[in-house]
Structure 1
Amino acid sequence: MYSNYTTGTRVTMGDLFPALFFSLLLATAGLYVGQSVPPALFLPLMIVEIIMIVAAMFIRRRRVVGYGFLFTFSFISGITLFPAIRDYVSHIGAPIVLQAFAVTVIAYGGAALYAGITKADFSFLGGFLFIGLIALLGMGIVSFFFPFSRTADWVYTLLGVFIFLGYTLYDFSRVVRYGVSREEVPMVVLSLYLNFVNLFLFILRLFGLNLKRD
């Protein structure tokens, strides 16, 4: 999601957290607003969200993605998360959803802390993670036409958890080792935000599968 870490004034991991926190705060506000959004609008908003992600990858090649883009995306993604969160609350209960969120915060924060303390280089994960992400997207598309078996559902869910936990380690380790230009902070935060949201959704799915097993 970001091109390099070598141009402009460089900032460190600690400088990214305020923007990441505000992005998550706006997503929470969007989640609240989602309660009042007509169901017919969710699909168009999801399409807008996808277009924004694709646009971000092209925009960064020519000019910098700004904070306005980042925060607008965060708010819209919060709205589009509402149907999924509502369904999980309905099926597994609000306390379990909160537990899944707490586990996500701990796992995500632990990965960030580990990258910061050890300064380990996880750049070797890039290729494996990309291949895993393509496989994950492929499995997701197939599931629309052919419902998963229980085993395939577990494989898909665990793969998602490991991929986005891996991306969290990968992204934070690059920031720690090389820094990031101040101009590219919004783009990097967008990547970190997507890691958190996707990790949360797959951990939620994992909790749901575990309850079904019981």
Structure 2
Amino acid sequence: MERTITASHTGSFAHVLQTFAISLLVSFIGMLIGAMVVPPQMIMLFVVAELGMLVAAFVIRIRGRHIGYGFLYAFTAISGVTLYPVIMNYGSLLGANLVSGAFLATAAIFGGLALYAHRSKRDFSFLGGFLFAATIGLVIMSLVNLFFTFGSAMSIVWSMIGILIFSGWILYDVSQYRDGVAAEEVPLAALNIYLDFINLFLYILRFIASIAGASRD
């Protein structure tokens, strides 16, 4: 049955982006908390909580329910805590300037793709199945990498694939939300865009680190 959303119960795309921006701010606060309060030995607890909340969000969505703003901001705060040691590790490898440059590049790519998806009015829904399968492939590669360390060349290819996949997710998600979503779906929409942005940032960092590693070999 086709779903009809009345204007009074619709969250505009601008509202989704605003919620996404707040999510990034909350994540940054989480990083500060991770830096100043959370001991390194407790980071794994936050990683488990983050993964658990992702699974919970997936199950909630399957059951036709909706996550709330509290869930969204709790997740992004925990995500910020778990991101802190990752960002610091890349900072020690690459330097603060390259990490900052990677973030700016992520913001530029995200902004360009989001603007294109919003203005072009093209339907990117055909990417959904491929992107989902490709993301599962990335997860499997990550698990394999826990036991077998990839060389610099493989890491470069892997990171480029990740950049392409999450660039595709940005096009897909923005095209899904550009005409607005039901008000109760705004937190989930913002969560999806947040994950697109953060994963794109991490794969850009991985790409730069892989290039730097290859140059040292």
**TM-score of the superposition, structure 2-length normalised?**
0.92
Unmatched segments (≥5 aa) in structure 2: none
More off after superposition, 59-68 vs 156-165: 59-68
Q: 1:158 touches 1:206 (CA, 8 Å); kept in 2?
A: yes
User: Share of identical aligned residues, percent?
Assistant: 42
Number of the residue aligned with 1:43: 44
1:49-64 aligned within 5 A: 49-60=50-61, 61-64=63-66
Does the residue aligned with 2:161 lie in a helix, a strand or coil? helix
- 1:111 and 2:113 correspond: yes
1:199 counterpart residue number = 200
Q: In the alignment, which residue of structure 2 is the partner of 1:129?
A: 131
Are the counterparts in 2 of residues 122 and 170 from structure 1 also a CA contact under 8 Å? Answer: yes
Query: Could you tell me how far apart the structure 2 residues matched to 1:11 and 1:39 are?
Result: 39
1:95-146 deviation line (CA, Å, top 9, x unaligned): 0000000000000111110011101111111111111111111111111111
Query: Out of 98, 117, 120, which is 2:100 matched to?
Result: 98
Structure 1: which 5+ runs fail to align? none
Q: Kindly tell me: are residues 6 and 212 of structure 1, through their superposed partners in 2, closer, same or farther at Cα, counting changes over 3 Å? A: farther
Matched, 1:66 2:68: yes
Shift of the 23–114 alpha-carbon distance from structure 1 to 2, 3 Å rule, reads: same
Task: Report if aligned partners of 1:5, 1:181 keep a CA contact under 8 Å in 2.
Answer: no
- Residue identity matched to 1:199: L
2: CA distance, partners of 1:154 / 1:48 = 30
Q: Does 1:173 align with 2:175?
A: yes
Q: Is the 8 A contact 2:23 2:72 kept in 1?
A: yes
TM-score by length of 1: 0.93
Aligned partners of 2:211, 2:104: CA distance in 1, in Å? Answer: 17
Moved over 4 A (4+): 4-8
State the partner residue of 1:186.
187
State the Cα distance separating 1:212 from its structure 2 match: 2.3
Match of 2:90 among 76, 79, 88: 88
AA paired with 2:166?
F
* Per-residue deviation, 1:7: 4.5
Work out whether residues 110 and 197 of structure 2, in 8 Å CA contact, stay in contact via their aligned partners in 1.
yes
* CA displacement 1:36-90 (0-9 Å, x = unmatched): 2111110011000000011011123243210000001011100000110010111
Residue 213 of structure 1: aligned partner: 214
| Distance in structure 2 (CA, Å) of the matches to 1:125 and 1:5 | 22
Preserved contact between residue 6 and residue 181 of structure 1 (Cα < 8 Å): no
Q: Tell me the distance in 2 between the aligned counterparts of 1:101 and 1:5.
A: 37
Q: 1:34: which partner in 2?
A: 34
